[in-house]
Chain A
């Protein structure tokens, strides 16, 4: 392989509900097409995070109990994670991971649990309700449509300087009110999408992969990635 990317899977052994690991698997699949390989390292409790070492970070969602444990340990990584994000490191945060990059979220017992405030959003909770179901959004900048599955109690409100990942076409999104879903800040992408988001949205997977490759290999030519299209109609016996 010509190119190598180092990925950090933040708390992959604790924040791992709903197949979030598939985001790294899907990235690795597209990476092969441009002769790149992704080495994934698990960064969990008590492990230091070195921002200079990684080209991509995934931070998934977890169960309530695990999230309370993670939120404490996360404070010890606050500075290097903030540095990584500010330096334009590609970062994908899903569900609980998305919430914890912001100022705070509300736990299952109604307690306010601090995030690391690397991003300017905050998350409240709904009483006995979850947003569950298929969701479709459109990214204003690229015009791309993204598909996913949301399943969250938290309602997130973006801060100044944060753009949404997309505008809600169908589903609830960040809070069910302002039609926003997810966040983009520098090269950090946050979302409530499971599915996983990069497995179901080729364009976004390629966009983030390209960001990571170009950041590490400014002289590399990754144009073949744009021509690549995952043809899932090939080998189809009979269309339904």
Chain B
């Protein structure tokens, strides 16, 4: 170890110790300090690790957590970064603060799309996982093609690393790469010939620029795609979901490559995350039955993204939404609930929510009136926009209550006619609601 990196490591570790001891935290500052002293510190810190990099628009966090669980069936030393610490400084902090590893340790890292190159400059990963790339309204400049290019710029520095990619997304089959590639995807339906809804993103055939068709489609532009014009089609899948047994709002049952699986979280998008974790597990020689065991555990720390709280006798599920693809998936998941439920949508447009509310019009709220929901709430700082959206979608005015001031939400939830309540909220609307709930002692303070 050079003197420079020794000093950098020592400084970073000391900063972490200080912050951790006296401030009860400290996620990116130690990394920031260490990087200042030695920009190439990561090379030193990660040199003994086999690294798996997980990147993409949606599902990074859960895929990373599931992958750690799956690999934990077979490997003992696994380092991972906490959700949100997926940029360079956070990753450096993760290595700085790692417990001392004995054998050849693994690192499973969630990495922001634009930061892949920051990692590959210093580390040659064993594998990359590509979850998906959607247009995220938070990426104010990002188009799906430029996001993918950013990832590939990073991957280009590690041409021998295996890519484990979502085979249902056409974009991941659009460029010839030197890397070995393994694809995973859904393969349980009989072939038809359908097209995606008009307002779906990324439907151009990358080879001939005609509109792609689908033999079967899961959601957004994902599925068993093909181009009727030039024959471009979904690649062979190595890891297939071959049976979809059942989906409820809180669980899914399915088979991957013939292995039965139970997952304690609802939503088709989470099955994709499980598929990715299965793929990494198999790639690292974990037996399918062991993977099934790891995924079936009911681990609240892993599945904590959907928060459930109780207002009197009501069971309220609070779900964060930030883009139309995510919203549509949440609506799909809710539609699998056989119990009667009420529905609330809370919209803010602060920086952390995305300041443009246009995306709500790409969300398929038109599904809601079909679900026989007896009561609706619309609210948040942009209550006018979300209220009009729901009305246009066909939500009857007499079933709709408008709650601009979220401090009134608890009282309104109490009045709802169903035990089951779903609340979808943008980021700061969620924070405001949580703050209110915490002040009433309904939930613990702090952000989940």
Where the two chains meet, the residues of A that have a C-beta atom closer than 8 Å to any C-beta of B are 9, 12-14, 16-22, 25-26, 28-29, 42, 44-46, 63-66, 69, 130, 132-134, 149, 151, 194-196, 199-200, 230, 232-240
Residue in A closest to B381 when the chains form the complex, CB atoms:
A240
Contact B404 A29 (CB under 8 A): no
Cβ-defined partner of B355 (8 Å) among A46, A149, A200, A238: A149
A129 CA to B202 CA in the complex, in Å? 24
Contact A196 B361 (CB under 8 A): yes
Residue in A closest to B362 when the chains form the complex, CB atoms:
A19
Known: A232-B387, A235-B401. A149 touches B145 (CB 8 A): no
Contact A21 B362 (CB under 8 A): yes
A196 CA to B401 CA in the complex, in Å? 23
Most buried by B among A25, A69, A130: A25
Contact A199 B361 (CB under 8 A): yes
A45 CA to B208 CA in the complex, in Å? 12
Contact A19 B402 (CB under 8 A): no
Cβ-defined partner of B358 (8 Å) among A195, A236, A237: A195
The residues of A that contact B388 with a CB separation of less than 8 Å are: 26, 199, 230, 232
Residue B140 interfacial (CB < 8 Å): yes
Residue B392 interfacial (CB < 8 Å): yes
For the A-B complex with A13-B196, A133-B355 known, give 5 more contacts whose Cβ atoms are closer than 8 Å. Answer: A22-B358, A26-B392, A69-B209, A199-B389, A236-B403
Min distance, Cβ B152 to any Cβ of chain A, angstroms: 15
Where the two chains meet, the residues of B that have a C-beta atom closer than 8 Å to any C-beta of A are 135, 137, 140-141, 143-145, 195-196, 198-201, 203-204, 209-211, 324, 355-362, 381, 383-385, 387-389, 391-392, 397, 400-405, 408, 412
Min distance, Cβ A72 to any Cβ of chain B, angstroms: 9
Cβ-defined partner of A13 (8 Å) among B198, B392, B397: B198
The residues of B that contact A236 with a CB separation of less than 8 Å are: 383, 402-404
Known: A13-B203, A151-B140, A234-B397. A194 touches B392 (CB 8 A): no
Min distance, Cβ A200 to any Cβ of chain B, angstroms: 7
The residues of B that contact A238 with a CB separation of less than 8 Å are: 403-405, 408
The residues of B that contact A230 with a CB separation of less than 8 Å are: 388, 391
A20 CA to B362 CA in the complex, in Å? 8
Top 9 A-B pairs ranked by shortest CB distance? A22-B361, A19-B361, A12-B198, A19-B358, A18-B358, A194-B358, A63-B143, A240-B404, A236-B402
A19 CA to B387 CA in the complex, in Å? 16
Contact B401 A237 (CB under 8 A): yes
The residues of A that contact B356 with a CB separation of less than 8 Å are: 18, 149, 151, 194
Can you report 27 A-B residue pairs in the complex whose CB atoms are below 8 A from each other? A14-B203, A16-B362, A17-B201, A19-B199, A20-B199, A21-B361, A22-B358, A22-B361, A25-B361, A25-B392, A44-B211, A65-B145, A65-B204, A69-B204, A130-B140, A149-B356, A151-B140, A194-B356, A195-B357, A199-B392, A230-B388, A234-B397, A235-B401, A236-B402, A236-B403, A238-B404, A239-B405
Cβ-defined partner of B211 (8 Å) among A45, A65, A151, A233: A45
Contact B204 A14 (CB under 8 A): yes
The residues of B that contact A233 with a CB separation of less than 8 Å are: 402
A103 CA to B145 CA in the complex, in Å? 26
A45 CA to B228 CA in the complex, in Å? 13
The residues of A that contact B203 with a CB separation of less than 8 Å are: 13-14
Min distance, Cβ A40 to any Cβ of chain B, angstroms: 8
Min distance, Cβ A229 to any Cβ of chain B, angstroms: 12
A45 CA to B198 CA in the complex, in Å? 13
A195 CA to B392 CA in the complex, in Å? 14
Contact B400 A235 (CB under 8 A): yes
Contact B199 A12 (CB under 8 A): yes
The residues of A that contact B387 with a CB separation of less than 8 Å are: 232
The residues of B that contact A237 with a CB separation of less than 8 Å are: 401-405, 408, 412
The residues of A that contact B404 with a CB separation of less than 8 Å are: 236-240
The residues of B that contact A240 with a CB separation of less than 8 Å are: 381, 404-405
Min distance, Cβ B170 to any Cβ of chain A, angstroms: 13
The residues of A that contact B359 with a CB separation of less than 8 Å are: 18-19
A230 CA to B408 CA in the complex, in Å? 24
Most buried by A among B204, B391, B403: B204
Contact B145 A13 (CB under 8 A): no
Contact B385 A200 (CB under 8 A): yes
The residues of A that contact B397 with a CB separation of less than 8 Å are: 234-235
The residues of B that contact A22 with a CB separation of less than 8 Å are: 358, 360-362, 389, 392
Min distance, Cβ A97 to any Cβ of chain B, angstroms: 14
A22 CA to B358 CA in the complex, in Å? 8
Contact A21 B402 (CB under 8 A): no
Contact B402 A9 (CB under 8 A): no
The residues of B that contact A239 with a CB separation of less than 8 Å are: 404-405
Contact A63 B145 (CB under 8 A): yes
The residues of B that contact A199 with a CB separation of less than 8 Å are: 361, 385, 388-389, 392
Contact B408 A21 (CB under 8 A): no
A13 CA to B397 CA in the complex, in Å? 31
Cβ-defined partner of B198 (8 Å) among A16, A17, A46, A63: A16
Known: A19-B362, A21-B199, A65-B143. A149 touches B405 (CB 8 A): no
Cβ-defined partner of B140 (8 Å) among A9, A25, A63, A132: A132
The residues of B that contact A196 with a CB separation of less than 8 Å are: 358, 361
Residue in A closest to B144 when the chains form the complex, CB atoms:
A63
A22 CA to B397 CA in the complex, in Å? 19
A20 CA to B356 CA in the complex, in Å? 12
Contact A16 B199 (CB under 8 A): yes
The residues of B that contact A16 with a CB separation of less than 8 Å are: 198-201, 362
Min distance, Cβ B202 to any Cβ of chain A, angstroms: 9
A96 CA to B84 CA in the complex, in Å? 34
Min distance, Cβ A163 to any Cβ of chain B, angstroms: 25
A19 CA to B355 CA in the complex, in Å? 14
